[in-house]
Amino acid sequence: MFQVWIDLLRVVIAIGALYVVLPVLSARAGDKWGGPWYKLIVPSAIRTVLVMEFTCILFGSWKLCLPGIVMSIYFLWMGTNIVLASHKRWIYDPAAWQNAYAGFWRWWDNRAAASKLLERVVHLSQTGLLLGLILISASVQFLWYPLTNFRFLGIQTYARVVSLQTLVTGNLWNADGSVAFLAPVVFLSGLDAATVIRLSAPVFYALLMGAVAWCAYQYSQALWCSTFAAGMFWAYTRNIGLDSVGEPAGLEISAFFMVLATGCARRSPGYAFCAALLAWIVEPSFPGIFLASLGCILVALIVYWCYARSPRLLRQVVAAVFLVAMGLSLNSAFSSTPADGPYEYESSARMAAQIARKYPRNRWVLVSPIHEAAYSFGRGWHVELTDFLSAYSKARVSNPKFQFPYEADNIFVFIEKRPLPQLGKLALPGSTGRSFYYSTSTGRASMEFDAARLMAAYASAHTDSSVYYEDADLIIYRIAK
């Protein structure tokens, strides 16, 4: 469990550094901007995501989306960002650099400035205390499922994992805007695509909620309005269930950029257009959750308009009721973990991820149903269980001289002791040829039964086979060469 929190921290730091901290610092390094730094967050993030989206799509199409190339372009963009935010003279003026260095230490020594900054932080934390509590509580709620489960609940998520891993390993890639801008996150965090997709999902849901609050503030200039909007959006996400918010696909990320576009439209049509373009690149179809987000913003504006014009006593009563309602919501923020499935057992996902971390790259093979391929792609090898059964027979593997022709040190064969119930769930898109085994319980049961018989026949004639893992639902055989 501790490792999961470390991985989450790495993902959050990578996303924050790549798309918030470094873009804001590069924009602030120029001498054109004289306003507060926090007003640079949204425009800088939009510019940087757009640049990296186009960069990764372009180089991914050429099979060149590699760490050195992508990160070099990223830092080149940071330098360009500094130039664009500058009057340029200071860039080649040594005296300007010396003055900036001295000015930094003068600011550091100025206790009055530091005290003023601290007072502002305290003031904002007091006025936005409820909003902050809502955002933090909702973020913890969004994190609950991916922190406690390795498996995915949506077939599109498996496809996105394979797409991102294909992109970052420089293989032939079909352009997918919903994962392109995550390639730098993989490179900077050093994590695999499955972990980045799983742990970035709740981060983007929290960002979507923050974008709703920010958009409401843009049109009201009031933290109470942002609080109303965030509270209603949280109520909406709790109603649609933790299963849905546990792993948003491209539609939710697209909705995030559309909400940003809505907020930017009030002051900067150019940035609104860029954010809308990003939303379209990420997911060309219209995200329904955007309508829910927009509804929360509109209702919050109406509620706040009435709230601001009501008598003071009534405002105090409304604020107290809202506080109590949000407080009660904290007690029921989490729901029970969903049952195993619908695509794989939780133990299958955990063990596939563990093997991928533990064993040397490309020196192991997973033999399993198709969904474990998402954890092994680009890190090891995967053989689909139906192909494995078609290639080998009981009579063949029971020969003591037989050896599986895989160039790997370890072969792991996943067999479900209790075949996972199938309720019309297909394999990954494009794999409908195996639909019998993944859309019917009979097909799944026959596949697992044949695999168990095959491994029993192999184990009866070989000593290199052992049980690597076993529980009530799953058994994993290890063949060590």
Amino acid residing at 277: L
pLDDT tens column, 292-345: 899 999 988 998 888 778 887 777 676 667 666 666 655 554 545 566 777 889
The crossing angle, in degrees rounded to 10, of helices 223-240 and 288-308 is: 140
Residue with tokens 């989306």: 65
Mean per-residue pLDDT, 78-105: 67
Q: Binning pLDDT at 50, 70 and 90, where does residue 154 land?
A: confident
Q: Is the Cβ–Cβ distance between 253 and 282 less than 8 Å?
A: yes
| pLDDT attached to residue 137 | 75
Q: Is the pLDDT of residue 267 over 60?
A: yes
| pLDDT attached to residue 31 | 66
| pLDDT attached to residue 242 | 46
Within 10 Å of residue 248's Cβ, how many Cβ atoms?
26
Burial class (CB in 10 A: 0-12, 13-18, 19+), 336: exposed
The whole-angstrom separation of Cα 301 and Cα 264 is: 16
Percentage of the chain modeled with pLDDT above 70: 80
Please give the C-alpha separations between residue 284 and each of 251, 253, 463, in angstroms, as whole numbers.
Answer: 9, 12, 54
Higher local confidence (pLDDT), 264 or 94 = 264
- DSSP for 176-236, please give it: -HHHHTTHHHHHHH---HHHHHHHHHHHHHHHHHHHHHHHHHHHH--HHHHHHHHHHHHHH
Beta-bridge mates of residue 415: 475
Return mean pLDDT, the chain.
84
| pLDDT attached to residue 472 | 92
Mean per-residue pLDDT, 284-288: 84
Q: Is the Cβ–Cβ distance between 411 and 375 less than 8 Å?
A: no
Residue 406 sits at the vertex; the CA angle it makes with 345 and 420, to the nearest 5 degrees, is: 15
pLDDT tens column, 237-262: 776 544 444 445 678 899 999 999 99
The whole-angstrom separation of Cα 114 and Cα 228 is: 32
The one-character DSSP state at 341 is -
| pLDDT attached to residue 330 | 53
The crossing angle, in degrees rounded to 10, of helices 193-220 and 155-168 is: 110
| pLDDT attached to residue 156 | 83
**Positive or negative CA dihedral for 44, 49, 54, 56?**
positive
Higher local confidence (pLDDT), 306 or 10 = 10
| pLDDT attached to residue 139 | 79
Residue with tokens 């020196």: 363
Contacts with 277 (C-beta within 8 Å, 6 or more apart), sequence order: 50
**pTM score > 0.75 for this model?**
yes
Higher local confidence (pLDDT), 414 or 340 = 414
